[in-house]
Copies of this chain bind each other. A is one copy, B any other.
Amino acid sequence: MTPNGQQKRNDILKAALELFAEHGFHNAPMAQLAKRANVAVGSIYRYFKDKDELIHELYSEVDVTLQKALVRAAEPSISTQQQFVHLMTDLIHYLQDHPYEFKFLEQYYNSPFGVEIKRDKLLLSGSSGRQSAFGQFIAGTAKESIKPMSAQVLYALVIGPVTFLLRDAISGLVELDEPRIKELADGCWNAIKR
Protein backbone atom coordinates (compact mmCIF):
# COMPACT_ATOMS: atom_id res chain seq x y z
CA MET A 1 0.00 0.00 0.00
CA THR A 2 1.27 3.45 -0.90
CA PRO A 3 2.03 5.93 1.89
CA ASN A 4 -0.93 7.92 0.63
CA GLY A 5 -3.07 4.83 0.86
CA GLN A 6 -2.01 4.27 4.45
CA GLN A 7 -2.93 7.85 5.21
CA LYS A 8 -6.36 7.38 3.69
CA ARG A 9 -6.85 4.15 5.55
CA ASN A 10 -6.05 5.92 8.80
CA ASP A 11 -8.43 8.75 7.96
CA ILE A 12 -11.18 6.21 7.50
CA LEU A 13 -10.39 4.45 10.77
CA LYS A 14 -10.27 7.73 12.63
CA ALA A 15 -13.61 8.85 11.22
CA ALA A 16 -15.08 5.45 12.00
CA LEU A 17 -13.89 5.59 15.61
CA GLU A 18 -15.53 8.97 16.08
CA LEU A 19 -18.81 8.10 14.42
CA PHE A 20 -19.14 4.71 16.07
CA ALA A 21 -18.44 6.22 19.48
CA GLU A 22 -20.85 9.09 18.93
CA HIS A 23 -23.73 7.30 17.24
CA GLY A 24 -23.15 3.57 17.56
CA PHE A 25 -22.39 1.02 14.83
CA HIS A 26 -25.98 0.99 13.60
CA ASN A 27 -26.40 4.74 13.35
CA ALA A 28 -23.19 5.44 11.50
CA PRO A 29 -23.93 5.06 7.78
CA MET A 30 -21.07 4.45 5.40
CA ALA A 31 -22.01 7.62 3.52
CA GLN A 32 -21.58 9.76 6.61
CA LEU A 33 -18.37 7.95 7.45
CA ALA A 34 -17.00 8.68 3.99
CA LYS A 35 -17.94 12.31 4.33
CA ARG A 36 -16.13 12.72 7.62
CA ALA A 37 -13.04 10.94 6.28
CA ASN A 38 -13.11 13.06 3.12
CA VAL A 39 -13.19 10.08 0.80
CA ALA A 40 -15.84 8.65 -1.47
CA VAL A 41 -18.04 5.82 -0.20
CA GLY A 42 -16.59 3.47 -2.73
CA SER A 43 -13.06 4.13 -1.56
CA ILE A 44 -13.78 2.62 1.84
CA TYR A 45 -14.30 -0.68 0.07
CA ARG A 46 -10.81 -0.53 -1.38
CA TYR A 47 -9.43 -0.78 2.13
CA PHE A 48 -12.05 -2.92 3.88
CA LYS A 49 -14.13 -5.78 2.55
CA ASP A 50 -17.25 -4.57 4.28
CA LYS A 51 -18.47 -2.69 7.32
CA ASP A 52 -17.90 -5.67 9.63
CA GLU A 53 -14.28 -5.99 8.61
CA LEU A 54 -13.82 -2.27 9.17
CA ILE A 55 -15.14 -2.67 12.70
CA HIS A 56 -12.86 -5.62 13.42
CA GLU A 57 -9.80 -3.84 12.04
CA LEU A 58 -10.63 -0.80 14.10
CA TYR A 59 -10.83 -2.99 17.17
CA SER A 60 -7.37 -4.37 16.48
CA GLU A 61 -5.87 -0.92 16.17
CA VAL A 62 -7.55 0.43 19.29
CA ASP A 63 -6.62 -2.65 21.29
CA VAL A 64 -2.97 -2.52 20.29
CA THR A 65 -2.73 1.18 21.06
CA LEU A 66 -4.33 0.69 24.45
CA GLN A 67 -2.00 -2.15 25.40
CA LYS A 68 1.02 -0.10 24.39
CA ALA A 69 -0.15 2.84 26.43
CA LEU A 70 -0.47 0.78 29.59
CA VAL A 71 3.09 -0.43 29.68
CA ARG A 72 4.81 1.29 32.55
CA ALA A 73 8.14 0.71 34.16
CA ALA A 74 7.80 -1.00 37.52
CA GLU A 75 8.65 1.11 40.55
CA PRO A 76 9.77 -1.37 43.19
CA SER A 77 10.62 1.43 45.58
CA ILE A 78 7.01 1.96 46.66
CA SER A 79 4.61 -0.43 48.38
CA THR A 80 2.53 -2.91 46.45
CA GLN A 81 -0.62 -1.02 47.32
CA GLN A 82 0.85 2.21 46.03
CA GLN A 83 1.91 0.50 42.82
CA PHE A 84 -1.63 -0.79 42.39
CA VAL A 85 -3.14 2.63 42.93
CA HIS A 86 -0.69 4.10 40.43
CA LEU A 87 -1.62 1.56 37.80
CA MET A 88 -5.33 2.12 38.35
CA THR A 89 -4.91 5.87 38.19
CA ASP A 90 -2.94 5.63 34.96
CA LEU A 91 -5.57 3.38 33.45
CA ILE A 92 -8.43 5.69 34.40
CA HIS A 93 -6.60 8.76 33.15
CA TYR A 94 -5.83 7.10 29.86
CA LEU A 95 -9.42 6.05 29.27
CA GLN A 96 -10.71 9.42 30.40
CA ASP A 97 -8.44 11.05 27.84
CA HIS A 98 -9.58 8.66 25.12
CA PRO A 99 -13.35 8.55 25.46
CA TYR A 100 -13.88 7.51 21.85
CA GLU A 101 -11.69 4.48 22.30
CA PHE A 102 -13.46 3.60 25.55
CA LYS A 103 -16.93 3.91 24.06
CA PHE A 104 -15.95 1.95 21.00
CA LEU A 105 -14.46 -0.89 23.03
CA GLU A 106 -17.51 -1.10 25.30
CA GLN A 107 -19.74 -1.26 22.28
CA TYR A 108 -17.57 -3.86 20.60
CA TYR A 109 -17.49 -6.15 23.61
CA ASN A 110 -21.24 -5.84 24.13
CA SER A 111 -22.09 -6.85 20.60
CA PRO A 112 -22.00 -10.02 18.57
CA PHE A 113 -18.60 -8.83 17.27
CA GLY A 114 -16.95 -9.24 20.62
CA VAL A 115 -18.36 -12.64 21.45
CA GLU A 116 -15.24 -14.47 20.38
CA ILE A 117 -12.96 -12.15 22.28
CA LYS A 118 -12.61 -13.03 25.90
CA ARG A 119 -13.61 -10.08 27.97
CA ASP A 120 -11.13 -10.83 30.71
CA LYS A 121 -8.49 -9.91 28.17
CA LEU A 122 -9.84 -6.37 28.08
CA LEU A 123 -7.21 -4.77 30.20
CA LEU A 124 -5.25 -7.64 31.61
CA SER A 125 -3.63 -9.11 28.56
CA GLY A 126 -3.48 -7.93 25.00
CA SER A 127 -5.12 -9.75 22.13
CA SER A 128 -1.72 -11.06 21.19
CA GLY A 129 -1.71 -13.09 24.37
CA ARG A 130 1.09 -10.97 25.75
CA GLN A 131 0.25 -9.78 29.21
CA SER A 132 -0.19 -6.08 29.85
CA ALA A 133 1.39 -4.16 32.67
CA PHE A 134 -1.73 -4.76 34.68
CA GLY A 135 -1.75 -8.49 34.11
CA GLN A 136 1.91 -8.76 34.99
CA PHE A 137 1.41 -6.81 38.17
CA ILE A 138 -1.52 -8.91 39.37
CA ALA A 139 0.07 -12.23 38.48
CA GLY A 140 3.56 -11.27 39.60
CA THR A 141 4.46 -8.48 41.95
CA ALA A 142 1.15 -8.38 43.79
CA LYS A 143 0.47 -12.11 43.93
CA GLU A 144 1.44 -12.48 47.57
CA SER A 145 -0.48 -9.40 48.65
CA ILE A 146 -3.76 -10.47 47.10
CA LYS A 147 -6.37 -12.70 48.67
CA PRO A 148 -6.55 -16.07 46.90
CA MET A 149 -9.66 -16.09 44.76
CA SER A 150 -11.03 -17.03 41.36
CA ALA A 151 -9.30 -15.03 38.63
CA GLN A 152 -12.67 -14.06 37.16
CA VAL A 153 -13.85 -12.59 40.44
CA LEU A 154 -10.56 -10.77 40.86
CA TYR A 155 -10.91 -9.21 37.41
CA ALA A 156 -14.51 -8.26 38.12
CA LEU A 157 -13.58 -6.54 41.37
CA VAL A 158 -10.87 -4.49 39.66
CA ILE A 159 -12.27 -3.79 36.20
CA GLY A 160 -15.97 -3.69 37.04
CA PRO A 161 -15.92 -0.50 39.08
CA VAL A 162 -13.60 1.23 36.61
CA THR A 163 -15.77 0.62 33.57
CA PHE A 164 -18.96 1.33 35.49
CA LEU A 165 -17.79 4.71 36.67
CA LEU A 166 -16.08 5.65 33.42
CA ARG A 167 -19.31 5.10 31.52
CA ASP A 168 -21.01 7.73 33.63
CA ALA A 169 -18.01 10.02 33.68
CA ILE A 170 -17.67 9.99 29.90
CA SER A 171 -21.40 10.56 29.41
CA GLY A 172 -21.00 13.59 31.64
CA LEU A 173 -23.23 12.21 34.39
CA VAL A 174 -20.47 12.27 36.98
CA GLU A 175 -17.34 14.26 37.41
CA LEU A 176 -14.52 11.81 37.97
CA ASP A 177 -11.87 13.95 39.63
CA GLU A 178 -8.67 13.03 41.44
CA PRO A 179 -10.17 12.46 44.91
CA ARG A 180 -12.76 10.14 43.44
CA ILE A 181 -10.20 8.26 41.41
CA LYS A 182 -8.24 7.78 44.60
CA GLU A 183 -11.37 6.56 46.44
CA LEU A 184 -12.05 4.12 43.65
CA ALA A 185 -8.52 2.76 43.50
CA ASP A 186 -8.37 2.36 47.26
CA GLY A 187 -11.72 0.61 47.30
CA CYS A 188 -10.61 -1.82 44.62
CA TRP A 189 -7.43 -2.53 46.53
CA ASN A 190 -9.37 -3.24 49.70
CA ALA A 191 -11.61 -5.59 47.73
CA ILE A 192 -8.74 -7.79 46.67
CA LYS A 193 -5.95 -7.35 49.21
CA ARG A 194 -5.11 -10.25 51.49
Contacts and interface: CB of A to CB of B under 8 A. Distances in A.
Size range of the chain A interface in the assembly: 35 or more
A136 B147 CA distance: 30
A49 interface: no
A97 interface: no
Interface string A179-194: 1100110011011110
B187 A149 contact: yes
A141 interface: no
Interface in A146-194: 147, 149-150, 152-153, 155-157, 159-165, 167-168, 171, 173-174, 179-180, 183-184, 187-188, 190-193
Interface of A: 24, 26, 106-107, 110-112, 115, 118-120, 147, 149-150, 152-153, 155-157, 159-165, 167-168, 171, 173-174, 179-180, 183-184, 187-188, 190-193
